[in-house]
Amino acid sequence: MNISAASKAAALPVKTVRYYADIGLVQAPSRSDAGYRTYDDASVRKLVFIRRSREFGFTIEECRELLGLYQDQDRTSSEVKRIASKRLEEIEEKQRELQSLHDELAHLVTSCRGDQRPDCPIIDYLG
């Protein structure tokens, strides 16, 4: 499989697939005589694993850890759970943050008439 086939199979941009090897997140793929990267199903599975992890918002470093655990038959589920719980807490923190931003901003937007006149509670609040 050349890189574009692997990229389609993993649903990741070609650039990103190259990038993940550059930073050592996945093993550097073998090369054809012409120097083209060649991928097999196992590498594609790892790329998919990374894509899904990234979609959950895990950082590249966390993906590195998770991928390590994925490939480690002797992992303990507690290690995985620790990383996932941490991410879950971050998500919850962000949710609380967004909720209070939302409420405040929604209130301001509602109270702004949005007409041709200059008086504006949003500006008043910010200034």
Question: In degrees rounded to 5, what are phi and psi of residue 37?
Answer: -70, 140
Give the one entry of DNA, a second copy, none that residue 13 binds, where binding means its C-beta sits below a cut-off of 5 to 8 angstroms depending on kind.
Answer: DNA
Assess contact for 10 and 44: CB atoms under 8 A. Answer: yes
Closest to 51 in 3D by CA, of 102, 9, 112: 9
Question: In degrees rounded to 5, what are phi and psi of residue 74?
Answer: -95, 15
Q: Looking at beta carbons only, is 70 or 121 nearer to DNA? A: 70
**32 CB-near residues (< 8 Å, 6+ apart):** 2, 38
Residue 37 binds to DNA (criterion: CB under 7 A): yes
With CB under 8 A as the contact rule, the residue among 11, 27, 40, 125 that binds a second copy is 125
Q: Which of residues 107-126 bind DNA (CB under 7 A)?
A: none
Interface with a second copy (CB under 8 A): 45, 48-49, 52-53, 55-57, 66, 69-70, 72-78, 80-82, 84-85, 87-88, 91-92, 94-95, 98-99, 101-102, 104-106, 108-109, 112-120, 122-123, 125-127
